[in-house]
Amino acid sequence: QVQLVESGGGLVQAGDSLRLSCAASGRTFRSYAMGWFRQPTGKEREFVAAISWSGGSTAYADSVKGRFTISRDNAKKSIYLQMNSLRPEDTAVYYCAARFTYGRPTHYYTGGNDYNYWGQGTQVTVSS
């Protein structure tokens, strides 16, 4: 069981950087694989990035590789998404998600259906 709250969204210009945070509450945060998803207006939710609970394994959508970096700090019960070189097409509501891994420190997940805990989202808007 984990509760997730995203923060750090806002309105920025193309080329700017932004860091999203997801604060979690739970007894065993280190045992949760985590992910970031986004949903542009009028479109379906899409995978952005994922990280194993050990932090040693990550995955990224092709659209954000080289620009976004996912990280986690288990001591702070938080994950982050550093977004650089933002583009207007990055505009979306960003969600963090968690999945209990049953002690699998290197596993990560890229499908929305793989996760069963979700935050309420934070809006990121990138202007031209």
What would the DSSP string read from start to end of 29-49?
GGGEEEEEEEE-TTS--EEEE
Inter-CA distances, 85 with 41, 67, 94, 120, Å: 21, 6, 17, 25
pLDDT value, residue 28: 72
Q: Are 108 and 55 in contact (CB under 8 A)?
A: no
Q: What number is the average pLDDT over the span 72-89?
A: 95
Q: Which two tokens stand for residue 29?
A: 């945060």
Taking phi over 0 as left and psi of -120 to 50 as alpha, with beta for the rest, 85 belongs to: left
- CB neighbours of residue 89 within 10 Å: 10
pLDDT value, residue 111: 96
Q: Are 124 and 7 in contact (CB under 8 A)?
A: no
Confidence of residue 54 (pLDDT cuts 50, 70, 90): confident
